[in-house]
Structure 1
Amino acid sequence: MSDVTQHSLPSAAAPDPVALRAAALNSALRGASPAEIIATAVRELGRDRVALVSSFGSESAALLKVMADVDPAIPVVFLDTGWLFAETLAYRDTLIDQLGLTDVRSIKPLPADLDRDDPAQDLWFSDPDKCCFIRKVEPLRRALAPFDGWINGRKRFQGGARAEIPVVEADGVRLKFNPFADVSREDIAAIYTLGKLPPHPLLESGFLSVGCMPCTSRASSEGDTRSGRWQGRSKTECGIHTMKTS
């Protein structure tokens, strides 16, 4: 009889329950309206366990309006990086008042991180990825700690890494809802018109996508709303959508 020791093959990795749930929801919500997707997020997770993350930028009012019509008490996370335009901060306050938002949380970078990594406040120029990490990615991770899911405003028509986003996806231990994935520019314009929403103050000056002041320029193409972000660099995303939040 052979003395060869039998070694069992390694077992397959267990399915990721968050990924499975995301795939099921993504399939169920195919063709659903943005309001239906947000309502599903609240029903699946509970109002206190899902947050909407908003930059209060050039197209943000549309998603905030849809959310407010579902439930204005859904928590809203706003990343106050310290480099935002004064116009964006004023726009935030205007929309909070007009839409009746009751739980907007302004999250700032940790002072210790700024003192250590950006004492001269020029990190945006020398290492924009690291600047985005300490001013946006790390603060968002802290802000989302109490939540099981989050809602954002990315759209497929923005192109690049956003061109193929699903309606629901897994983001580490959380579900990530993209209710505007399939909307068009015309859909957004209609929400603004019907909701009588004010435009971002910088829009008429050619800023079609508004982020932090040092890294935002006027768009070079009306067809590419994000062409004014990080102009002259290969960078196209701040990191909150390309790095897991958990």
Structure 2
Amino acid sequence: MTAEVDVSQAIDYLVGRHVSSTAEAILEDVLTRAYKGRTALVSSFGTEAAVLLHMVANIDASTPVLFMDTGRLFGETLRHRDKMVERLGLTDVRTLGPEKEIAREDPDMMLFSHDPDRCCYLRKVLPLRKALEEFDCWINGRKGHHGEGREALPIAEADGYMVKVTPLARWGAEEVEAYHAVHDLPRHPLWEDGFLSVGCMPCTDRAANSSDFRSGRWAGKGKTECGIHLPTASAMPMKKAQGC
């Protein structure tokens, strides 16, 4: 069978098995059975990241957690990361950074202002793609209430040869708030200051509309995604994925 068929079968299995499962049940299946030892959680340690980090830590605190330090993050994000790692006992947090070409292509650190897509690619997409090559499955924290086409997210989908799992696809803002409250999880330090979604400092502002979760990201640039969730199959090396 081809890698494409393997991935398709794995997705059919996960989607079919977890039609009404909780996020915790989805994670338990992926981390302890279907893709045991071959899954990474990708986390921004942003405003809602504590939810998935807490769930994963409760199942297996040694799960690899991939964090992109773009070199342009808020200091609050880095401190929040350190606080959450200590609080949850995560033992394999891997901090990724841009490759050497960033110095050549962005010598004055102003690439974000005239080519934000290229800036995101060099600082986030490329480092993540390289780090994911050793895995067959990755977990992300997107949620339906974020808007921008995320309302109908599947819990599992193909990402090149990999399976991408979205355990919180069916969650709304109320569920996120409730989980924080029940488990007494700290929020990102900028949350109370109106930053509902936090990325790189030059491209993040307070949300213009409290009902538009990502309205403070790349404001005025006609851009809504950094690129790590855009189709990548044509750019991904193909290998036979195992699982399920």
Give the TM-score, by structure 1 length. 0.91
1:57-136 matched pairs, under 5 angstroms: 57-111=46-100, 113-136=101-124
Q: CA deviation at 1:71?
A: 1.3
Q: Which residue of 2 aligns with 1:210?
A: 198
User: Within 1, Cα distance between the matches of 2:193 and 2:59?
Assistant: 32
Post-superposition Cα deviations, 1:177-208, rounded to whole Å, max 9, x if no partner, equal 00000012111111111111111100111100
Q: Are 2:38 and 1:44 aligned?
A: no
Higher relative contact order (CA 8 A, sep 6+): 2
- Give the fraction of aligned pairs with identical amino acids, expressed as a percent: 47
Q: What is aligned with 1:240?
A: 228
Structure 1 counterpart SS, 2:149: helix
Runs of 4+ in 1 over 4 A off after TM superposition: none
- Separation in 2, partners of 1:125, 1:19: 39
1:174 is aligned to: 162
Q: Is the 8 A contact 1:218 1:228 kept in 2?
A: yes
SS in 1 for 2:158: strand
* Residues in 1 aligned to 2:145 and 2:93: alpha-carbon distance in whole angstroms: 27
RMSD: 1.4
Q: Secondary structure at the match of 1:16?
A: helix
Question: Within 5 A, what are the aligned runs for 1:7-22?
Answer: 16-22=5-11
1:150 corresponds to? 138
Q: Distance in 2 between matches of 1:234 and 1:84?
A: 21
Superposition deviation, residue 15 in structure 1: 6.2
TM-score, scaled relative to structure 2: 0.92
* 1-structure distance, mates of 2:221, 2:110: 16
Question: Could you list the runs of 5+ residues in structure 2 that have no partner in the other structure?
Answer: 237-244
* Aligned partner letter, 1:39: E
Amino acid at match of 1:54: S
Q: CA deviation at 1:16?
A: 2.6
Residue-by-residue CA offset, 1:141-198 (whole Å, 9 max, x unaligned): 1111110000000011111131221001111100110000001211111111111111
Mapped contact 1:23–1:169 kept (Cα < 8 A):
no
Which 5+ residue runs of structure 1 have no aligned equivalent? 1-12
